């Protein structure tokens, strides 16, 4: 955003200082705590009331508007945080990071602001991006409103294909009731700067619709902020490209188009459903319950706000809306070993024969991995005895949204001793046996980004080891099967190709072992061919 005639440095409201009754000082870890619902509302109210920003509600209305997309904590700079944590310096100013879509101006863009001080914001400043350049409006993340308009544009554009779709799939877009088609979009949305055109994979809307492509993929250009100017640029159907909806519809009407007819989905035990099938062969008529985790003497960890303590461990944590779980001020035995450990990005690159498959290169932070942390199920996602924590996000919404049970904490028997030794006397007896139980504390959340469910864990071990772990589950990202597609994946069902792909998971690791002035290096091992000093002639 560019504000002509107004300095970026200041948009100040004078607020009266108030003094309240003395209270216990907040935990130092709270400088890293996520914004509370009250703070999120305060930031939104402050920005909405600034006339120079001209903000409109996020939901509804046109795309060509100024709207608040995201509000989350802006962590303090490390030097300020350490001055406070280590040397008793002033508490860092608490600020929010706000992402605004400026679509209602001559040069639409995406702008980031720092807003503070919290809890009563009175000013904002511009957070520059790459030498002061603005993020172009066409590069913004998708919003709920744009998806609504995308669906409307797709349904209208594909109306001439309704006979084809009904005949081939038994499903449609028009007056479809319980037999509707839907779509999944892929990214990036173009092949170069300035483009915003998405390949949309048409799918039957049944449980696990990710595994039910209809054989049709549509390239829809939606760069213009006015949806009336959006247009279908290309189509792909069962291995063939078409330049327009009309061309494909006429080919079908003439009987010149071989149809990829899909079988009728069963009403029960659809292969893509999560309906349990089969039974655990335990040899008994009634299936016994599986193992359960218990804490016979209660929890051995301590949660105080966003501070977590376990054994010799102490750390602060937050669930960042944009990217996910972050740890700060990680200490073992009272000594800081890391200033920050955090999830940054999850990337997936795909190959395929269809245009959507070959175009797919997901960067999942663009779908706000932290704000995709939906409710964890006790006994499945986390043990029933775990501590569950809620999260609050303000993302593409007109107020904070509560995400129940977004995180959990639990102690886990690892099933492997932390260390053990059986000291044999080599005469059928032993001198001693010693062992330590293997246990770890787990801090967990999930991110459901379209088809994938990422399970993010940080594990704390009593011997000073910290492990980061991610599990990928959910559904595969799949496309319509064609014989040519076999070069780029495996046929996993009659009309389904599991596309070849690779995952890259990125973490930020800021180690403070022995202080913040340390360095990092890697060492390689090489073979050295030397004379054997105790056996002449041998090497």
One domain, residues 177 and 86? no
Within a domain: residue 398?
yes
Within a domain: residue 532?
no
Closest CA to 270 of 213, 335, 207, 224: 207
One domain, residues 126 and 171? no
Task: For the chain, list residues with pLDDT below 70.
Answer: 1-23, 280, 282-287
One domain, residues 420 and 506? yes
Within a domain: residue 260?
no
Closest CA to 393 of 417, 419, 367: 367
Domain with residue 90: its CATH number is 3.10.450.40
One domain, residues 158 and 132? no
Last residue of a domain, one of 219, 254, 289: 254
**pLDDT attached to residue 521:** 87
Within a domain: residue 539?
no
One domain, residues 369 and 470? yes
Closest CA to 386 of 442, 470, 348, 434: 442
Domain with residue 355: its CATH number is 2.70.98.20
Tokens representing residue 38 in the block: 């009250």
**pLDDT attached to residue 269:** 86
Closest CA to 215 of 229, 228, 203: 203
Q: Is 364 a catalytic residue?
A: yes
Q: How many separate domains does the chain show? A: 3
Last residue of a domain, one of 139, 159, 182: 139
Last residue of a domain, one of 88, 114, 139: 139
**pLDDT attached to residue 302:** 97
Q: Is 461 a catalytic residue?
A: no
Sheet holding 496-499, edge to edge: 478-480, 496-499, 489-493
Catalytic residue chosen out of the listed positions 124, 301, 452, 488? 452
Task: Give the pTM.
Answer: 0.90
One domain, residues 238 and 357? no
One domain, residues 134 and 153? no
One domain, residues 359 and 447? yes
Within a domain: residue 293?
no
Within a domain: residue 537?
no
Domain that holds residue 335: 301-511
Per residue in 463-512, pLDDT (tens digit) is 999 999 999 999 999 999 999 999 999 999 999 999 999 999 999 999 99
Catalytic residue chosen out of the listed positions 238, 364, 396, 512? 364
One domain, residues 333 and 454? yes
The Cα angle at residue 457 between residues 452 and 459, in degrees rounded to 5 = 165
**pLDDT attached to residue 9:** 35
**pLDDT attached to residue 498:** 96
One domain, residues 309 and 377? yes
**pLDDT attached to residue 8:** 34
- Rounded CA-CA distance 320/35 in Å is 10
């Amino acid at each position: 955003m560019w504000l002509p005639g107004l300095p970026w440095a200041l948009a100040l409201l004078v607020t009266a200082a108030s003094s309240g009754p003395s209270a216990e000082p907040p935990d130092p870890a709270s400088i890293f705590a996520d914004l509370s619902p009250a703070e999120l509302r305060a930031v939104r109210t402050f920005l909405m009331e600034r006339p120079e920003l001209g903000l409109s509600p996020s939901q509804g209305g046109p795309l060509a508007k100024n709207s608040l997309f995201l509000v989350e904590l802006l962590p303090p700079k490390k030097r300020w945080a350490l001055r406070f944590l280590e040397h008793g310096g002033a508490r860092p100013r608490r600020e929010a990071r706000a992402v605004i879509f400026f679509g209602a101006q001559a040069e639409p863009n995406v702008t980031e602001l720092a807003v503070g001080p919290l809890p009563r914001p009175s000013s904002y400043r511009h957070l520059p991006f790459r030498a002061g350049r603005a993020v172009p409006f066409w590069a913004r993340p998708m919003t709920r409103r744009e998806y609504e308009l995308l669906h409307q544009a797709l349904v209208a554009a594909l109306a001439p294909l309704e006979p084809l779709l009904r005949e081939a799939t038994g499903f449609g877009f028009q007056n479809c009731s319980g037999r509707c088609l839907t779509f999944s979009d892929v990214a990036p949305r173009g092949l170069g700067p300035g483009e915003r055109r998405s390949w949309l994979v048409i799918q039957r809307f049944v449980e696990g619709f990710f595994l039910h492509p209809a054989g049709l993929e549509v390239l829809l250009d939606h760069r213009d902020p006015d949806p009336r100017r959006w247009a279908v640029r290309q189509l792909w159907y069962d291995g063939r490209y078409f330049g327009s909806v009309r061309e494909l519809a006429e080919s079908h009407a003439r009987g010149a188009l071989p149809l990829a007819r899909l079988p009728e989905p069963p009403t029960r035990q659809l292969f893509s459903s999560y309906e349990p099938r089969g039974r655990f062969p335990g040899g008994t008529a009634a299936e016994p319950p599986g193992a359960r985790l218990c804490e016979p003497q209660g929890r051995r960890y301590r949660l105080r706000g966003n501070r977590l303590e376990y054994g010799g461990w102490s750390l602060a944590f937050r669930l960042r809306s944009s990217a996910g779980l972050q740890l700060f001020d990680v200490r073992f035995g009272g000594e800081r070993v890391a200033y920050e450990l955090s999830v940054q990005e999850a990337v997936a690159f795909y190959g395929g024969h269809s245009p959507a498959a070959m175009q797919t290169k997901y960067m999942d932070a663009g779908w706000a991995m932290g704000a995709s942390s939906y409710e964890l199920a006790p006994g499945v996602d986390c043990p029933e005895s775990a501590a569950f924590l809620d999260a609050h996000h303000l993302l593409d919404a007109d107020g904070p949204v509560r995400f129940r049970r977004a995180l959990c904490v639990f102690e886990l028997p690892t099933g492997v001793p932390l260390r053990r030794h059986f000291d044999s006397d080599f005469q059928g007896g032993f001198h001693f046996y010693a062992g330590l139980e293997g246990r770890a504390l787990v801090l967990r959340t999930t991110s459901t980004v379209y088809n994938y469910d990422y399970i993010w864990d940080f594990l704390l071990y009593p011997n000073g080891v910290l492990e980061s772990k991610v599990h990928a589950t959910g559904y595969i990202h799949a496309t319509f099967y064609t014989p040519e597609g076999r070069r780029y994946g495996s046929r996993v069902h009659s009309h389904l190709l599991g596309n070849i792909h690779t995952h890259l998971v990125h973490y930020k690791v800021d180690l403070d072992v022995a202080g913040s002035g340390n360095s990092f290096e890697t060492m390689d091992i090489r073979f050295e061919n030397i004379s054997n000093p105790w056996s002449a002639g041998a090497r």
